[in-house]
Amino acid sequence: MKPMEIEQASMAIIEEELRVALPEDVKPIVKRVIHATADFSFAESMVFTPGAVEKLRALLSRSATVVTDTQMALAGISKPALSRLGCRGLCLMAEADVAREAQARGVTRATVCMERALALPGPKLLVCGNAPTFLDPLVSAGSLTDVGVIGVPVGFVHVTEAKEALLRTGLTCVVARGRRGGSNVAAAIVNALMYGMEGARP
């Protein structure tokens, strides 16, 4: 089977086995996360703020910068789709001056990365699949415009708390409640958002 045929067959199986009723705009996003993880529990744990799919796609349609908290998440995001939509992908975690600033201030590199991401011009999609402290600056950032967030860090420490705090900010976001998540989940959400847009896939 060709790669696209395998994907189509997988999606058909997911559709058949899915037992949770989902809104039509949300369903393709959740299905792609299940496709990436083989974990149907995401159909119940994923939360979309009102109008999130439409609003996040609107950001992408305006050549948003997609900033991830890990190189792994960035690697999983479709570069051809980003290019077709006029977007760029960026991860600041490996930059030497980020590490120096984080050490000097006694904070995580992820925190510094988010602060720098928020200072970038133009629309931004901020994507967290691993480091919950990437989300922390959003809580105290005040009113933000042209910003959307994918908040799906995985783990045990400060993970559920960071996700719930993100939901309370009022920002447009997609969150996987609980401990589950990961860079592959984050990338799958971004890809699903893009693949549902005209011209993103050949």
Catalytic residues: 35
C-alpha span between 99 and 121 (Å, rounded): 22
Instruction: Taking the CA atoms of 20, 193, 132 and 141 in sequence, report the sign of the dihedral they define.
Output: negative
One-letter amino acid identity for 165?
Answer: A
Report the 3 state secondary structure along 56-116: HHHHHHCCCEEEECCHHHHHHCCHHHHHHCCCEEEECCCCHHHHHHHHHHCCCHHHHHHHH
Comparing CA positions, the residue from 93, 201, 193, 196 lying closest to residue 149 is: 193
